[in-house]
Structure 1
């Protein structure tokens, strides 16, 4: 039997007014947030930035009816709902947008049944990426600012520095570049809604001598939000002419390696790693730069005979933190800046002797006892946006089965006899 769902919309009552005009940077939310929104809501927000800027929109919380044609958010790249459609936001869908102009329109519509807690969204004024960018990993921060943009502010690239005044840029014909280890140059790490954010400030000094000045000092606040996606972007939130912020996103660097025993002291350097059937294999996934304030949680590990395809022919060792393979054993997961486990080697039927392992890990603040990393096995397919954490996927291999040496030697002896 096929279940049909119907969405009933009625004209919103005057008492259910919402939406409005927004400018620059800020936040907005569904009616009555964080409590349940009402049936038959129809809200339109028009977001506007300065004429030379774009808009970056990000949903920080989302809980709607589990029916994308009933309760949803629609985002349009322009000043009205007649502008180019960018996407629909409902549970487990796209949650960030970047406009191509200085206008963005957001529509929130609900039907006549079933409600949720709604949404919260943040919007930020953003200059074109042609003016610069910031890229981050768990190892490095890379800030690139175009000299033409600095010239428009009356800034000489040679006068720029970071929170640490001794951190200075490299200057090319077109750009001014800061490239440095992310835990240096005065970078501060913060936690925001379960995510890790690295902040710094790019400053410029003037030529005046002395200890004081009555001129406005230039300061660009730099943010790197460690996201699940690997894209990067640059965002300028302008408070006044000589004060702005730059935001970007990055990914943590993780590594995975075999070890010879359960004490995880000696790392296997052999490639490919030659093993016997049913041999205990010891694996560690860790942040390349150890950090005691973060923990690594082993979410999913999948084996495949190919390093490029973990869908067609795959075998689960662990999924959503739940053990699938009977020989899988976890030594550490969700409590340290590394995850350790073991399993017994095997081979794929109708395939080569090679086996590759792909693991997805989550990275959470060690201080958050309610994070996904602390909850262990979870068979829920969907999670609220607010409970997500940074994720990394790493591949290890190949593992290759050793040839049965003893049987081969016995065969040779029989041949000689």
Structure 2
């Protein structure tokens, strides 16, 4: 369970919010009451937008019963930006104007811990943007915005002054690996946050200057299956932000043996019943400060439907299939396991595998990765450090119903990987 320190000024149920801050469901982090109905009206300064992020969502397992609705305007009559339900991961919304309305509603049945959200004022997209992947940060600042502030692209630099941008007549672009240019990294509420600053040299001509201390703070929130980037403008006071979205990159692949040295590439992966299948999940970014843990793994005869017909290998970190064996237990930056091949009765012999893998901070005894198996009865409701990357691997094609030999030649194994 992630405990978030709540500011005393945050409202418990509805109200008017301005600028930047946070709000949460009634009684959070304890259970919200039945029949809750809360409305928050959020506004940003003139010519700016509202950027809203839900850091934690734990609602009843029913989207029509308990939900959060986000409206693009000053009332519930405004266009609906979207709904957040029980299975919502870290979700973000941008308004098209300076107003946004958020409604939280619960029915009279099951309750849960609720939600915690933050909001900020955001500069329009015409000013700039930032995109992040597992490996790189790309910052684009438009020249028209810089000129309105009295600066040129040639004035800009990052925390490491040797990192300078590419400058054109209409935009300024910084593009660099996440672990360079003075980028800082920290862990917060289950996210890995990378931060840097765009700064500017002030004019050294004359005795006075009317230029402020220009600074754009750029942050990438790497939250398992989602990356949210925030770049906010810091003069004397931080009042606005520029935001973007991306993905946390990971791959899942078959290997020829338990040594996990030789991946297989072709498709389909032709195997025999009861043959050992070896799977490895790995982050694109090799970061020893992060570890992986297999939370759920489900097989299906369809790559698009894992609810109608499915077979569980792992549930809540606990082994369900007797042939499943994990080589790692949330203590490495790769996840490796094996299981024996099977087929679904009364269907074609093709099988697909979908796994949800959690990313945690290494050496954290309180992280989900350190808890390993926990039953559904004792499991706490979904929290910010339990979001997961979902990966699909397949197809696996059976070559016969005969029992496989104890050890088949691994050189015959072939596979397809789908991210």
- Relative to the length of structure 2, the TM-score reads 0.76
Q: Which residue of 1 aligns with 2:414?
A: none
CA deviation vs aligned residue, 1:74-113 (integer Å, no higher than 9, x gap) = 5433234444444555644585432221112344567899
Q: Aligned equivalents of 1:72 and 1:87: distance in 2?
A: 10
Deviation, 1:221, is 0.2
My pick for the range that moved more, 328-337 or 28-37, is 28-37
Q: Which residue of 2 aligns with 1:411?
A: none
1:331 paired residue among 327, 334, 351: 327
On the 8 A contact 1:129/1:233 being kept in 2, the answer is no
Say which SS state the counterpart of residue 144 (structure 2) adopts.
helix
Q: Which residue of 1 aligns with 2:74?
A: 79
2:201 paired residue among 193, 201, 205: 205
Q: Which residue of 1 aligns with 2:54?
A: 59
| Cα 1:377/1:88, change in 2 over 3 Å | same
Which 5+ residue runs of structure 2 have no aligned equivalent?
1-10, 402-419
After TM superposition, list the pairs within 5 Å mapping 1:205-224 onto structure 2.
Answer: 205-208=201-204, 215-224=211-220
Q: Aligned equivalents of 1:166 and 1:251: distance in 2?
A: 28
On the 8 A contact 1:300/1:319 being kept in 2, the answer is yes
My pick for the range that moved more, 75-84 or 380-389, is 380-389
Structure 1 residue 150 and structure 2 residue 150: aligned?
A: no
1:180 paired residue among 176, 179, 184: 176
My pick for the range that moved more, 376-385 or 177-186, is 376-385
| Cα 1:170/1:383, change in 2 over 3 Å | farther
Q: Which residue of 2 aligns with 1:100?
A: 96
| Cα 1:181/1:350, change in 2 over 3 Å | farther
Q: Aligned equivalents of 2:13 and 2:353: distance in 1?
A: 50
My pick for the range that moved more, 372-381 or 160-169, is 372-381
On the 8 A contact 1:224/1:248 being kept in 2, the answer is no
Q: Which of the two has higher C-alpha Rg?
A: 1
Q: Aligned equivalents of 1:245 and 1:139: distance in 2?
A: 22
Say which SS state the counterpart of residue 327 (structure 2) adopts.
strand
Which 5+ residue runs of structure 1 have no aligned equivalent?
1-15, 405-417
On the 8 A contact 2:228/2:245 being kept in 1, the answer is yes
Q: Aligned equivalents of 1:303 and 1:396: distance in 2?
A: 9
- Relative to the length of structure 1, the TM-score reads 0.76
Deviation, 1:114, is 8.5
Q: Aligned equivalents of 2:13 and 2:303: distance in 1?
A: 51
The total of aligned residue pairs comes to: 388
Q: Which residue of 2 aligns with 1:194?
A: 190
| Cα 1:384/1:373, change in 2 over 3 Å | same
After TM superposition, list the pairs within 5 Å mapping 1:13-412 onto structure 2.
Answer: 19-30=14-25, 34=29, 44-62=39-57, 74-87=69-82, 91-93=86-88, 95-107=91-103, 119-208=115-204, 215-227=211-223, 230=226, 236=232, 240=236, 245-264=241-260, 266-272=261-267, 273-304=269-300, 307=303, 310=306, 314-348=310-344, 355-380=351-376, 384-401=381-398
| Cα 1:126/1:320, change in 2 over 3 Å | same
Deviation, 1:201, is 0.8
CA deviation vs aligned residue, 1:239-277 (integer Å, no higher than 9, x gap) = 55898654444332212233333233x213452455443
| Cα 1:36/1:344, change in 2 over 3 Å | closer
On the 8 A contact 1:219/1:242 being kept in 2, the answer is no
Considering only aligned residues, what root-mean-square deviation do their CA atoms show, in Å?
Answer: 4.0
Q: Aligned equivalents of 2:396 and 2:70: distance in 1?
A: 47
| Cα 1:227/1:353, change in 2 over 3 Å | same
On the 8 A contact 1:59/1:96 being kept in 2, the answer is yes
CA deviation vs aligned residue, 1:323-365 (integer Å, no higher than 9, x gap) = 2322111111312111111112334556666544332211111
On the 8 A contact 2:232/2:239 being kept in 1, the answer is no
Q: Aligned equivalents of 1:311 and 1:19: distance in 2?
A: 36
